[in-house]
Amino acid sequence: KAGVTQTPRYLIKTRGQQVTLSCSPISGHRSVSWYQQTPGQGLQFLFEYFSETQRNKGNFPGRFSGRQFSNSRSEMNVSTLELGDSALYLCASSLTSSTFYEQYFGPGTRLTVT
Amino acid sequence: AQKVTQAQTEISVVEKEDVTLDCVYETRDTTYYLFWYKQPPSGELVFLIRRNSFDEQNEISGRYSWNFQKSTSSFNFTITASQVVDSAVYFCALSEATKTSYDKVIFGPGTSLSVIP
């Protein structure tokens, strides 16, 4: 079974730009969650999607948004990038809910904002 | 509110030593789930174990064992006879579940384990 894939793996953007990250979950998994990982803040929950609906949202500004498609693939968008958005963005999939089931993580997208 | 504490920021052990990683959690729910994940230097988090709040049985999987104690709100992880491949950051995580809502998973700050050959 193929694992969670994320594209791109690395990205360099400048302040003010926007970026879209993509995540393909494990086949059959319907829940996709996104996390931001930084040395200072650790792993912080961004949002979770299930059946194309946002189920939960973390404490991030509105510049961070996401969506999920009918095939469970998900995208995350960050608009008006700031230096502090530099981080590893991790996507995770689980069977139906990250609350009840273990999550399988992708390799992450390393975003650098200059 | 949910909270997960991993008081040990970094631990170094010599190969073949046993090591215990501590995890203390806070929750007001009676139904919740606890998880451990491993993040090796390659960066990809790997699921290790899931435990629900109604199952206090300890679990052993090879060299790994977990001790769940609701009385002290702890879910500790022990690696027996550690190996260099165990070097990684280990995260404890908590999610609360009610009948009508789902809640997000909260991760602890992680414990960085270095196993020295």
Q: What is the CA B64 to chain-centroid distance, rounded? A: 11
The Cα B86–Cα A113 span in angstroms is 32
pLDDT in the model for residue B103: 67
Q: Which of residues 91-110 of A touch B (CB under 8 A)?
A: 92, 97-108
Instruction: Say whether residue B54 is in contact with chain A using an 8 A CB cutoff.
Output: no
Hey, are the CB atoms on A100 and B33 less than 8 Å from each other? yes
| Residue B101 pLDDT grade (very low, low, confident, very high; cuts 50, 70, 90) | low
Q: What mean pLDDT comes out for the span B90-110?
A: 81
- Residue numbers in A near B96 (CB within 8 A): 99
- Residue numbers in B near A108 (CB within 8 A): 43-44
Highest mean pLDDT, choosing among A7-11, A45-49, A92-96: A7-11
| Residue A99 pLDDT grade (very low, low, confident, very high; cuts 50, 70, 90) | confident
Hey, are the CB atoms on A106 and B44 less than 8 Å from each other? yes
The Cα B90–Cα B6 span in angstroms is 9
Q: Which of residues 41-100 of A touch B (CB under 8 A)?
A: 42-43, 45, 48, 55-56, 58, 88, 90, 92, 97-100
Instruction: Say whether residue A24 is in contact with chain B using an 8 A CB cutoff.
Output: no
User: For residue B98, is pLDDT > 80?
Assistant: no
Residue type, position A114, single letter: T
DSSP, residue by residue, A26-81: PTT--EEEEEEEETTTEEEEEEEEETTEEEEE-S--TTEEEEE-TTS-EEEEE-S-
Instruction: Say whether residue B44 is in contact with chain A using an 8 A CB cutoff.
Output: yes
pLDDT digits (tens, 9 = 90+) for A55-88: 888 889 999 999 999 999 999 999 999 999 999 9
pLDDT in the model for residue B102: 58
pLDDT digits (tens, 9 = 90+) for A23-64: 999 999 999 999 999 998 899 999 999 999 998 888 899 999
CA distance B83 to chain A (A): 23
Hey, are the CB atoms on B43 and A108 less than 8 Å from each other? yes
pLDDT digits (tens, 9 = 90+) for B37-89: 999 998 899 999 999 999 888 888 899 999 999 999 999 999 999 999 999 99
Interface contacts (A, B; CB < 8 Å): 59
- Residue B43 tokens read as 């960066």
pLDDT in the model for residue B2: 81
